[in-house]
Amino acid sequence: MSQIANRDFKLDAGRLVIVSNRLPISINQVDDGEWEISPSSGGLVTALTPVLRDSGGIWLGWPGKLDSGNLDELLAKGSKGTGYSLRSVILTEEDINLYYFGFSNEVLWPLFHDLQSRCNFNPSYWQSYQQVNSKFAEAILHNSNHDDYIWVQDYHLMLVAKSLLAMGEERSMGFFSHIPFPSPDIFNKLPWRLQILKALLDYDMIGFQTMRDRNNFVHCAEMLIKGVQADTRRQISTVSLQGHETKVGVFPISIDFHDFSVAAAETTVKNRASELSNALPNCKIILGVDRLDYSKGIPEKLHAFEYALKRYESLHGRVTLIQIIVPSRVDIPEYVNLKSEIEGLVSRINGKYAQAGWIPVNYMFRNLDRAELLAYYRAAHIALVTPLKDGMNLVAKEYCAANTDREGILILSEFAGAAAQLHRNALMVNPYDTEGVANTIYHAYQMPEKERQLRMKRLRGSIARRDIYWWVNLFLRTSETMEISDLSKSGLN
């Protein structure tokens, strides 16, 4: 499929309504007390914009600030020129504490990443989760028509279709899970497992990142709900309950490959990448870029790097790990503790191994602008992407897209969703295996140029073929296609 063909999907009828916890904007108060709105620029927004614009669509979500002046005026300003409108779902401080920080981030996030010991199954979180999902359903009701297609994003909003039905209303509704879906052994621990599963089956279509997640979901449904019938013989499975059929498919999310690749090739990025390399003479750069989160396996990665330095003395003065961390959820004590743990490890490694002119770990805790991030990607000889579990992991794909010199090496956790697509040409590791990761770092360090180039060429080809436009189109086309077998030609395997 060509880049252009990828971009021109149109809905058959109605508007596209995207529903997500957060609107794709940020609202900030400027010095004179005025509120300012700026659009978010992620790949998802870019890819959805053409379909939203063509269908006169709507994006619905929490605007992110509890008190931001004249909100409607601000939102109108924020969507000016985009061709679609922004509509807010107003949440209270209590909603944010219980539904967002509580149920979403202390129950669903750890459980769905197989870290059940980190869960706090507080019943008041569940109450709030139900109430907030109803608020979103009400907002859909007020802002959409019967022929609109409602596409709900992610684990914060699993009950929205059910809540809408409870209001006596029906819409065509799809749900995409950006995070993994756990196996029955783990999912069974959730006190509200039945309510969640049944609510998911009120959607007309559910998309998962990988086959692993789709199979886990279908197994959970079969095991826990009496009367469920699943047909998994086709690429898009169906799960039926009491006369309602839900399509369940695999739609691995991606990035705007072309855009990343072109931006990384710009002279300013190239020059900045050279500056970064020149600042570390005779050193190969190993790069880690992660959001601050325990699922990303950052301490485990540092342990493995330390082990590599202990085991392979020839790496001393020859490799530097640049670990960039984007601040996230810093209001949750667990994340503050994680930050301290990481900083302790960085200082221990540097204390032990640094020499005049060489610091083993360069650590940054901040957001980087896009050009700077691209320069780091370009300068890195090796990307070390080792989440303990991840829905997809876009950093792995961004690194390859930005690797315009086509010589970099991707070391990738087998527990990242991206592994399903990239495992043949990345160096695969188990992030819990300190020795294995250390050996792989050394192997990557020594890899001959020809092999590096061949692997990177294949990685880039695979990501370019299945970019974010491919993902949006495939999801929406599948949601409209009644004839499931048509999909066999879509490249979804």
Selected from 96, 379, 395, 411, the binder of ligand ADQ by CB under 6 A is 395
Residue 41 burial class via C-beta count within 10 angstroms: exposed 0-12, middle 13-18, buried 19 and up: exposed
Site string for ligand ADQ, 11-30 (x = CB under 6 A): --------------------
Q: Is residue 45 involved in binding ligand ADQ (CB under 6 A)?
A: no
- Complex with ligand ADQ: residue 47 or 315, whichever CB lies closer: 47
Q: Is residue 106 involved in binding ligand ADQ (CB under 6 A)?
A: no
Phi, psi of 23 (to 5 degrees): -70, 155
Positions 410 through 429 that interact with ligand ADQ (CB under 6 A)? 417
- Shortest distance in whole angstroms from residue 243 CB to ligand ADQ: 32
Q: Is residue 342 involved in binding ligand ADQ (CB under 6 A)?
A: no
Selected from 96, 157, 179, 345, the binder of ligand ADQ by CB under 6 A is 179
Q: How far apart are CA 425 and CA 454, in angstroms?
A: 8
Cβ–Cβ under 8 Å, residues 385 and 430: no
Nearest CA among 408, 270, 290 for reference residue 338: 290
Q: Is residue 393 involved in binding ligand ADQ (CB under 6 A)?
A: yes
Q: How far apart are CA 104 and CA 110, in angstroms?
A: 9
- Complex with ligand ADQ: residue 391 or 431, whichever CB lies closer: 391
Q: How far apart are CA 153 and CA 206, in angstroms?
A: 10
Phi, psi of 357 (to 5 degrees): 85, 0
- Look up residue 190 and give its DSSP letter: -
Structure token digits, residue 90: 């107003």
Residue 460: helix, strand or coil by DSSP? helix
- Active site positions, annotated: 178, 390
Selected from 86, 253, 380, 463, the binder of ligand ADQ by CB under 6 A is 253
Q: Is residue 373 involved in binding ligand ADQ (CB under 6 A)?
A: yes
- Shortest distance in whole angstroms from residue 79 CB to ligand ADQ: 22
- Complex with ligand ADQ: residue 108 or 150, whichever CB lies closer: 108
Q: Is residue 289 involved in binding ligand ADQ (CB under 6 A)?
A: yes
Measured between its terminal Cα atoms, the distance across the chain in Å is 15
Structure token digits, residue 237: 């499975």
- Complex with ligand ADQ: residue 78 or 180, whichever CB lies closer: 180
Cβ–Cβ under 8 Å, residues 366 and 426: no
Q: Which stretch binds ligand ADQ (CB under 6 A): 15-23, 100-108, 386-394, 469-477?
A: 386-394
Q: Are strands 35-39 and 25-29 parallel, antiparallel or unpaired?
A: antiparallel
- Shortest distance in whole angstroms from residue 158 CB to ligand ADQ: 15
Q: Is residue 324 involved in binding ligand ADQ (CB under 6 A)?
A: yes
- Look up residue 358 and give its DSSP letter: B
Residue 17: helix, strand or coil by DSSP? strand
Q: Is residue 285 involved in binding ligand ADQ (CB under 6 A)?
A: no
Q: How far apart are CA 493 and CA 251, in angstroms?
A: 10
Residue 162: helix, strand or coil by DSSP? helix
Q: Is residue 178 involved in binding ligand ADQ (CB under 6 A)?
A: yes
- Shortest distance in whole angstroms from residue 138 CB to ligand ADQ: 26
- Shortest distance in whole angstroms from residue 12 CB to ligand ADQ: 26
Structure token digits, residue 418: 């991206």
Q: Is residue 276 involved in binding ligand ADQ (CB under 6 A)?
A: no
Q: Is residue 368 involved in binding ligand ADQ (CB under 6 A)?
A: yes
- Complex with ligand ADQ: residue 239 or 289, whichever CB lies closer: 289
What type of residue is 80? K
Cβ–Cβ under 8 Å, residues 377 and 404: no
Q: Are strands 85-88 and 361-365 parallel, antiparallel or unpaired?
A: unpaired
Positions 116 through 155 that interact with ligand ADQ (CB under 6 A)? none
Q: Which stretch binds ligand ADQ (CB under 6 A): 29-37, 159-167, 267-275, 367-375?
A: 367-375
Which residues of this protein are in contact with ligand ADQ, per CB under 6 A?
178-179, 253, 289, 291, 324, 326, 367-368, 373, 390-395, 398, 417
